[in-house]
Amino acid sequence: MPSLLANAGVGHTPIVELTGLRPYLGTRIRLFAKLEWFNPGGSIKDRACWRMIEEAERRLELTPGKTLLDATSGNTGIAYAWIGAAKGYKVSLCVPASINPVRRRILEAFDAELILTDPLDGSDGAIVEARRRFAAEPLRYCYPDQYSNPDNWKAHYDGTGPEIWDQTEGRVTHFVAGLGTSGTFMGVGRRLRELRGDIRLVSVEPDSPFHGLEGLKHMETAIVPAIFDPKLADERLTVSTEEAQEQVRRLARESGILAGVSSGANLLAALRVADALLGRGEEGTIVTVFPDSGERYLGERFWTEGKAP
């Protein structure tokens, strides 16, 4: 089936220096964020989903009449949904019943079928249900399985990584990113390490199995994605939901950037890396990713916490 959107404008997102934080960082440390909501579906997941769908079509795993099936906590589902609508595929998504209501409305607008799973099981429960449905009806579904599909990380190896390298003119010394499927960290990390052998790769996870950082996994207690290689990271940092939410509020106030909660987690980890560099009197160019915009989270209570009614 020919694509209706060519490459759909996926990728080539802007990178910005967080100059609002410069007084804190001083002049020896530069901190950049790649704004992934400039992808057509509003998140970094467009990159992996576009690649997985295109490759599934090429291998004839996804053909007219088949339904696209996967597990998601939200943004991947939105990417599948808009691409599926553009290409003429039905999309069925297994999602925790606690899915962000704005994301749910977006998915419904694209006419995706939502299969709600136990919210207490998080993304793992959705994965189990997607696997069960595919095993029961393998001829009905194309199941890309974002957690196991190497095309996930290859989208970032071929796209996001080289973009970061070019946009920083090869000056990047540290890359910081959260782990969900781990595709972003695996793909970008592998490409940047090939380009610069001494780069420091820092992964970010929630500090607890019970957290509010949509899209991120607490690897010690979760179903570990098959594409994840724990040996790639030079350093592993953990953040709490509350700390990430505070960074989102700070980012809006001090830098004029309205980002999502996983972006807050990435920012906090990047600032910790900056603190360590400053403490040692070293220089560095730190790059992180902001996976989606804060607009999808404006209904959440943390925006008004601590403010007078």
Catalytic (active site) residue 262? yes
Q: Residue 70's Cα: distance from chain center in Å?
A: 16
Q: Which two tokens stand for residue 97?
A: 């019943």
Q: Which of 182, 255, 262, 263 is catalytic?
A: 262
CA-wise closest residue to 123 among 193, 175, 189, 76: 76
CB < 8 Å & 24+ apart, contacts of 209-212: 211/240, 211/241, 212/241, 212/245, 212/261
For residue 23, CA distances in Å to 9, 20, 31, 228 come to 35, 7, 12, 36
**Whole-angstrom distance between the N-terminal and C-terminal Cα of the chain?**
54
Is 154 catalytic? The answer is no
Q: Identify the DSSP state of 33.
A: E
| Token pair 């599909």: residue | 149
- Cα dist from 101 to 97, 188, 249, whole Å: 10, 30, 20
Distance CA 83, CA 5 (A): 9
Q: Catalytic one among 45, 87, 154, 217?
A: 45
Contacts of 168 (CB under 8 A, 6+ apart): 15, 32, 285, 287
Q: Is 45 helix (H, G, I), strand (E, B) or coil?
A: helix
β partners of residue 113: 92
Catalytic site positions: 45, 262
